[in-house]
Amino acid sequence: MRKYFILGTCLLAILVVVSSCKKFLDVVPDNVATIDNAFTMRSQAMKFLFTCYSFMPRSGQLGDDPAMVGGDELWEIPERAAYLDIAKGFQSKVGPLGDRWESMYQGIRDCNIFLENIGQVPDMQETEKARWIAEVKFLKAFYHFTLVRMYGPIPLIKTNLPVSADVNQVKVWRDPIDSCFNYIAQLLDEASPALPPTIISPATEAGRITQPVALALKAKVLVTAASPLFNGNTDQVGLKSKDGSPLFNQTYSTTKWEIAANASKKAIDLCESLGMKLYVYNPAFQQFDLTDTIETQLSIRNSVTEKWNSEIIWANTQSSTVGLQQLISTWWDPRYLDGTTTRGELSPPLKIAEMFYTDKGVPINEDKTWNYSGRYLLKTAGEDDKLYIRKGYETVGLHFDREARFYADLGFDGGIYYGQGRYDDRDNMNLLYLEGKFKQRNGKGKYGYNTVTGYYLKKLIHFQNVVSSSTDYSVTDYPYPLLRLSDLYLLYSEAQNEAHGPGSEVYKYIDRVRKRAGLDGVATSWSNYSTNPAKYTNKDGMRAIIHQERLIELAFESQRFWDLRRWKESEKELNNPIKGWDLSQITAAAFYRTTVLFNQTFGTKDYFWPIADRNITTNRNLVQNTGW
C-alpha cells in the first residue's frame, strides 16, 4: 500500500462529503480506505474520477463564490452577508474570507493520485483511460488557476511527495507567476487532444470536460496572464521568495497578448466548427406572437438561464441555481402579497444601473442625444415605453431609453417584469411590474427581504419561474455558466486590441455580441452618437469600450470581480460609495434621491488574498503577499 501527502498532510482516506444527488458529478467514493482499492477496477476508479471533480467551487453560491458580493456589483442584506465583508474591506490574514488554499491543494493532491494510479486499472480500454487522464489534467490546471487568480504566485504541485520525503521537500516555495501560468497552459495542452469534442450523452455526462472547454479555459488563462495585474506589475516588485528571487516579472510583454489572441481564436474556431453560436431566443413554440423588444430581452436572459443552450461552453453542474433564484427573486405577483419563499436579497447598486449603455449603444455620459445631467429628474412613462416601464408610471430619466441588457438584467421601480406566468407582451397592462417605494409590494418595510438599493437582479431568474400561491414558487433550475461564447468573443477582441490595436478582427467579435443585444456596431454607434466619436479608433479608447462591453455583457455572472482585478482597475472602481435610492420614502420625488449605503475602500494589497497565517507558520518558505 502506498500513501501520499502534500504540504505536510498525510492521506489517510478519501472522504469527500457532498449532498446526495443523482447528477453525474456528485457521485463520490464510499469511504475508500486505500489507494490500492480505489484502482482495482473501473467502477472504483470512476468514483475517484468524480472525487477529482468534486472540488469544483460552487459558482454562484453566496457561501462559496466571493465574486458574487465581494466586489461592487451586488449589495446584500447586511445581516445575511456572506462575503460582503470582502467588499467592505474586512479581509484578514488570520482567517481569510473565501480562503481556498487547503481545498484547492487537496483537489490537486487527489488529481495527482489519480494520474499516478489510473494506469493499473485492468478492465478499461486505453481510449477511455486517455479521456479520464485528460479530464483530470484539466481539473488540475483549473484548480491551479483558481489559486493563481486569488493568491498570485503559488507553489506548483506537479507530483505528490512520498511519505518518506524529508522536511525540506515538504516545505514548498512559491513559484514565479510566469511559471505558474506556463504550467497551467501546459496541462491544458496535454489534456485537449484526448478530450471529446462534445458530450454525446448529456443525461449522464453533462458537465464533464470537452475540447472546447479546455481551449476556452486556456484562452481565459492566457488573457489573464497578459493582463496588467500579472504582466509587468511593478506594484509587486517587492514580492520575492526567501532566497530573494522575484515572483513577478517586471517587464511588460506584448507577446503575451499575441499568444492569448491566438489561443482565443483557436478556441472560437473549434466552438463554431461544432455548431456553437450566440444564443437567440426561438419563439417557435411560444403561445403568443412576441414583439422584437421582448424577444431580444429573452435572448439575453436565456443565454444564461436556458441550460446547455448553443452558447454555453461550460457550466457548473455542482451549482444548483434554485436557491440562488429564490434569494434574488422579489415577490412580483400582486395576487400573493404574503410570500415567504422569495427574498429579493441581492441588489445592484446605482453605479451598475448607470454602467449600461443608452439605446444608441454608447455610455450614458457620452451619448449626445441623451440627457445625462437630467438623469435623476422625474419622468412619466408613455406609450412608447410600455414594454420597459409601466405606462403612466413616474420614475427617473435614468430608466428611459436604455439598451436591452439594462431591461433584461435589472428590475426597478415601475419596470416591466416580463414572464413569470404572464407571456402576452401585447397586453401591457397585464404584464407584471415592480413597485419599489416604501412598503409597496417590492419595497422596503414589508415582511421578508427586498431591495437594499432600489434595484433588483433579474438576469439570473428564469423567465418561466412562477409564483402560484403565497408559499409556492416554482423554479426552473439550470447549471451556473462558467464559460459562454460571448465571453470568448470579448476575450479575443481584448487580446487583439492589446496586441495589434483596433481593427476589423477586434470590431468583428465585439459587434457580434452587440448585435445580439440589439445594438449597432462600435464604429456606427460611436461615430453617430458619441461626444467622443474617434474613441474606437485608438488602442486606449477601444480598450475602454471593450472593458465596458465585458462588464455589461457578463454582468452578475461572477466575472466583474475578477476582470477589475486583472485590469488593475479595482482601485478606481472600488474606492467609491455604494449608492442607491432613498428606500424609506413613499413619493417619487423623495424616493429618487441618492443615498450612500457604504463608502468602499480598496488598496494595492487587496488585489490578492492573504495567505493564512497558519500556513505561513507551518511553512516558513512561504512568503506573505504584499501589504499583508
How deeply is 510 buried, as exposed, middle or buried, from its count of CB atoms within 10 A (0-12, 13-18, 19+)?
A: buried
Q: How many Cβ atoms from other residues are within 10 Å of residue 346's Cβ? A: 26
How deeply is 329 buried, as exposed, middle or buried, from its count of CB atoms within 10 A (0-12, 13-18, 19+)?
A: buried
pLDDT score, position 426: 87
Q: Per mean pLDDT, which range of 23-37, 125-139, 286-300 is the poorest?
A: 23-37
pLDDT score, position 555: 98
Higher-pLDDT residue of 335 and 577 is: 577
Binning pLDDT at 50, 70 and 90, where does residue 488 land? very high
Predicted model pTM: 0.93
pLDDT score, position 341: 62
Higher-pLDDT residue of 121 and 333 is: 121
Binning pLDDT at 50, 70 and 90, where does residue 540 land? very high
Tell which residue, 471, 475, 542, has the closest CA to residue 510.
Answer: 542
Q: What is the mean pLDDT of the chain?
A: 91
Please name the fold of domain 4-279+608-618: 1.25.40
Tell me how many degrees the CA angle 262-175-91 measures, rounded to the nearest 5.
95
* Coil, helix or strand at residue 493: helix
612, three cell numbers: 493564512
* Predicted confidence (pLDDT) at residue 2 exceeds the cutoff of 60: no
Per-residue pLDDT reduced to its tens digit, 78-89 = 766 678 999 999
Binning pLDDT at 50, 70 and 90, where does residue 445 land? confident
Are 372 and 365 in contact, with CB atoms under 8 Å apart? Answer: yes
* Predicted confidence (pLDDT) at residue 353 exceeds the cutoff of 90: yes
pLDDT score, position 170: 82
**Separation of first and last alpha carbons in the chain:** 42
Any bridge partners for residue 394, and if so which? 380
Per-residue pLDDT reduced to its tens digit, 382-410 = 999 999 999 999 999 999 999 999 999 99
Taking only Cα atoms into account, the Rg of the chain, rounded to an integer number of angstroms, comes to 25
Per-residue pLDDT reduced to its tens digit, 601-621 = 999 999 999 999 999 999 999
Q: How many Cβ atoms from other residues are within 10 Å of residue 20's Cβ? A: 6
DSSP sequence for 213-252: HHHHHHHHHHHHHHSTTTSS-GGGTT-B-TTS-BSS--S-
Strands 312-316 and 480-484: antiparallel
pLDDT score, position 617: 93
Binning pLDDT at 50, 70 and 90, where does residue 4 land? very low
Q: Per mean pLDDT, which range of 53-62, 332-341, 492-501 is the poorest?
A: 332-341
pLDDT score, position 345: 85
* Predicted confidence (pLDDT) at residue 323 exceeds the cutoff of 80: yes
Per-residue pLDDT reduced to its tens digit, 575-591 = 999 999 999 999 999 99
Per-residue pLDDT reduced to its tens digit, 195-220 = 999 998 888 898 999 999 999 999 99
Any bridge partners for residue 4, and if so which? 162
Q: How many Cβ atoms from other residues are within 10 Å of residue 363's Cβ? A: 22
pLDDT score, position 252: 97
Domain ranges of the chain: 4-279+608-618, 283-310+320-478
Mean pLDDT of 79-105: 91
Mean pLDDT of 553-557: 98
Q: Per mean pLDDT, which range of 58-62, 164-168, 311-315 is the poorest?
A: 164-168
Tell which residue, 205, 209, 17, 167, has the closest CA to residue 103.
Answer: 17
- Residue 158's identity, in one-letter code, is K
pLDDT score, position 594: 98
* Predicted confidence (pLDDT) at residue 12 exceeds the cutoff of 50: no
* Predicted confidence (pLDDT) at residue 169 exceeds the cutoff of 90: no
Any bridge partners for residue 347, and if so which? 75
Mean pLDDT of 483-495: 98
Residues in the chain, total:
628
Q: What CA–CA distance (Å, rounded) separates 476 from 481? A: 15
